[in-house]
Amino acid sequence: QCITHCPVGALRERDDTEQVFDALGDPERICLVQIAPAVRTAWGETFGLAPGQATVERLAAALRMVGFDYIFDTSFSADLTIMEEASELLERLKRAGESGEHPTFPMFTSCCPGWVRYVKDHYPELVDQLSTSKSPQQMFGAIAKTYYAQALGVDPSKIFSVSIMPCVAKKAEAALPSMTGADGAPDVDVALTVREVCRMVKACHIDVAKLDDEPLDQPLGTHTGAGVAFGSTGGVMDAALRSAYYFATGERCDADAFSDVRGMDGWKEATFTMGDKALKVAVVHGLANARNLLDALKSGEVGYDFVEVMACPGGCVGGGGQPIHDGMELAGERGEVLWGLDRSSNLRRSYENPAIQMCYADYLGAPLSERAEELLHTDQRAWTMPGEREECL
Ligand code: SF4
């Protein structure tokens, strides 16, 4: 987990709230904000709200008062990530099948920048095993400044794209030279932590307890339960398998068919049948578990087709950008909130999201299309690890 309150003061958390307030005050800018899935489990803790009161819709109401023009949900682009990542997994397995060689190492998820940087730093020989799919934060930014700018009829340079993340490493991810549009502008202009956005709400003297829920904006506010579960350990794997199953077999699976990958065990593994193939998967959270898994893979003790890794214990719900309560570990509790939202959702498979279907029909074509590759995928080797480590991760 990111250390944001370093006891010796060697690590600093960057505060980007002034930059966002400046953009909000600029009449030439259109300010839109995406809210990551895990944020809804924790933002209300800062204001003493009970979990049932701290809805993402109440946060949307607060953000409108702060001055954002459009409030969207990163769970939308989590669904988009699943469309691309599940397709990529099947494509890799197909290629391996055609060449007659079973891949030595699995495909790893790549939506956690803490994990991506860990691989690049400590296991550079495995970088090509990382999925090329961008994270939901970055896919959202890319779509906001292309598809959505086109829908609004505005020049993408007018859009100021902000994300609210449970994560400090997302700031570094948004700043990567590979996470830009064709014009060189960043897909995400500023990534805020939950703590920063709560400070902004307080600075605006907004009494969140008195706000009513307000709907998110459309179409980038529409999401499935699979997209919301992304914020908990096992959520990416579970969501990806629900869609991969459909892509591989043409059949709609039980949304709870892959529940063996859920829960707080540090290293989970399961085998599922997908068409004529047995797919062996693993889920780890926390970098110590990731190291153990990688070493076991390298020594040949274990073998998988697909592995999810989240750097923070419990996944993003336990991220370093969430409110901190000394001595309390809330990741398990917060994760249950997300699984509950998934279970109560009418839509639980990413490919069923009507806004995703529209985005592909009107703009992207199909998963892994030329445009999807250009906007939604990245070359994990396109940047090198910075020499300095002033900030966390
Ligand atoms: Fe960030 Fe932690 Fe989530 Fe990784 S697991 S994306 S480091 S909050």
CA of 51 to the centre of ligand 1 (A): 21
- Residues 317-339 have a mean pLDDT of 85
Give pLDDT, residue 324.
81
Which residue, judged by its Cα, is nearest atom 7 of ligand 1?
114
- Domain assignments of the chain as residue spans, ordered by start: 17-376
Rounded to an integer, what distance in angstroms lies between the CA atom of residue 207 and that of residue 146? 35
**Atom number of ligand 1 nearest to Cα 321:** 8
The C-alpha torsion from 168 through 169 and 171 to 175, rounded to 10°, is 170
**Atom number of ligand 1 nearest to Cα 168:** 1
pLDDT top residue among 352 and 387: 352
Which residue, judged by its Cα, is nearest atom 4 of ligand 1?
112
Q: DSSP letter for 216, please.
A: P
- Residues 265-289 have a mean pLDDT of 94
Buried/exposed code over 338-375 (b: 16+ C-beta within 10 A; e: otherwise): bbebbeebebbbbbbbebbeebbeebbeebbbeebbeb
Cis ω on the peptide bond leading into residue 386 (within 30° of 0)? no
Confidence of residue 2 (pLDDT cuts 50, 70, 90): very low
Rounded to an integer, what distance in angstroms lies between the CA atom of residue 284 and that of residue 282? 7
pTM of the full structure: 0.93
CA of 137 to the centre of ligand 1 (A): 11
CA of 114 to the centre of ligand 1 (A): 6
**What's the mean per-residue pLDDT of the chain?**
92
Confidence of residue 329 (pLDDT cuts 50, 70, 90): confident
If you search the block for the tokens 């999401």, which residue do you land on? 223
The C-alpha torsion from 122 through 125 and 131 to 135, rounded to 10°, is 30
Give pLDDT, residue 146.
98
**Atom number of ligand 1 nearest to Cα 1:** 2
CA of 310 to the centre of ligand 1 (A): 6
pLDDT digits (tens, 9 = 90+) for 14-33: 899 999 999 999 999 999 99
CA of 181 to the centre of ligand 1 (A): 23
Confidence of residue 387 (pLDDT cuts 50, 70, 90): low
Topology of domain 17-376 in CATH is: Rossmann fold (3.40.50)
Ligand 1 binding pocket, CB closer than 6 Å = 112-114, 166-167, 169-170, 310-312, 315-316, 319
Phi-psi region of 269 (alpha: psi -120 to 50; beta: other; left: phi over 0): beta
CA of 283 to the centre of ligand 1 (A): 14
Among residues 28, 34, 57, which one has the least CA distance to residue 142? 34
Residues paired with 191 in a beta bridge:
163
**Atom number of ligand 1 nearest to Cα 393:** 7
* Count of beta carbons in the 10 Å neighbourhood of residue 212: 7
- Residues 366-382 have a mean pLDDT of 96
